[in-house]
Copies of this chain bind each other. A is one copy, B any other.
């Protein structure tokens, strides 16, 4: 079987990933260090993600705001731990004017140097916390439930499209509460929003759980994540939710008068997902013919390709295609009107067909003169591209029959992709009882080791550092301790030998 991409997942997973992005016209290098151009197909997927997740963020009582791109240097000084943790590599604005450099070029004007440099936001806890300190005076002002869709910048040295770029797009939720319990509840509520969103909309099976102490967001009391498994067995952290306790409130002076008239610090949370999710979609659902987009986030769910030959009959074929489109957009699938488009560009039919296969449109319909004459359409399902004999599985069916089936077919594709993701993740988590077993597992299963599921005693401080170092030697990290555990008393910690308190997942990661 010959595939549409020149490199397969088996041959070189990293090269395959980049090839999907290029061949599906999702993104490209921008010429600006570490920044990509997100092209319409990639951005269209992001718009779908935004729309569906935004609905869920609003349905849980949050409102969107917009805070400044620039954060004064002094805001970071207030939150020392925050800076120590990750925020050193940041883009710093120092000047506000350009002037000719006398050599035919331009330069920053030395006369226009800022008194206080501005940092391009790497995340917005500091600037949003400062606003919260103005907004929150009394218990009546709580909770404050805010979300922001924005671009952020972290000066990453090694970048990889969608997974790690200097500038990326995300949403960041920030909330303030009257009690620690309520803030912890919020942290887990949003974790669950992320988990169900990944499952239901992205078709990506994830494990929700708590990150170990060493992987916490700087300044957080607890950091929770959803972890997805890529087809090479590596983990991708696809979203995080942080319980910040009163740490940020203390630094930013978010205080309120409680019902008894006493001044208290608020408890805050923050939580975010980014364009990284698109990287997960590619590496979970892609195959050797390109991307496969789950219908819920596909910019176009049904792409209709009239097979044009520069002949007079072309007009009738395009008309027939548009009639089909008109029939489809009146149908509803997965809770919304079907998104169907006609690709009437003057290109060869095979080029267009394979272009849409590589982009991963869930259903591609081809229409030639014979289809028009017979009242038929030729249907290609992206999740069942080939027949058992290795040939392209293009099925001729009556147009009206297809229109009647389209919604169910899209729902089936969504469910199929999700089921495959569930199956792959389940099949690639191995419970192991001791450290020797972990070493052996990652030595043997070099190519696609998946994750191991082990008991531990949740050591902290120096004891945890030792564990992290042992794992690092094998390029492993603790992904999370899956949520919903009720204890773990059937054996000792694989690291310390002490009684275990919970199970954790360990693997290699992006």
Contacts and interface: CB of A to CB of B under 8 A. Distances in A.
A261 interface: no
A96 B32 CA distance: 14
Contacts of A120: 69, 93, 120
Contacts of A72: 31-32
B88 A64 contact: no
Interface in A17-55: 28, 30-32, 35-40, 43-44, 46-47
Contact of A70 (B40, B76, B91): B91
A210 interface: no
Interface string A415-454: 0000000000000000000000000000000000000000
A350 interface: no
A319 interface: no
B68 A347 contact: no
Given A67-B30, A91-B93, A105 B73 contact: yes
Nearest to A148: B43
A155 B88 CA distance: 25
Contacts of A28: 131, 134
Contact of A98 (B40, B68, B90, B150): B90
A327 B145 CA distance: 26
Interface in A164-216: 167, 169
**Chain A, interface SS category:** mixed
A65 interface: yes
Interface string A52-67: 0000000000011111
Contacts of A347: 140
Contacts of A71: 32
Contacts of A400: none
Contacts of A134: 28
A76 B92 contact: no
Contact of A67 (B37, B93, B150): B37
A94 B108 contact: yes
A119 interface: yes
Interface string A141-165: 0000010001101010000000000
A66 B98 contact: no
Contacts of A151: 69, 150-151
A89 B83 contact: no
A106 B346 contact: no
A35 B67 CA distance: 8
A77 B104 contact: yes
A448 B243 CA distance: 54
Contact of A90 (B66, B96, B119): B96
A127 interface: yes
Interface in A84-122: 87-99, 104-108, 117-120
A6 interface: no
Given A68-B35, A118-B32, A151-B69, A63 B88 contact: no
6 contacts: A43-B65, A44-B64, A73-B105, A90-B97, A93-B93, A140-B346
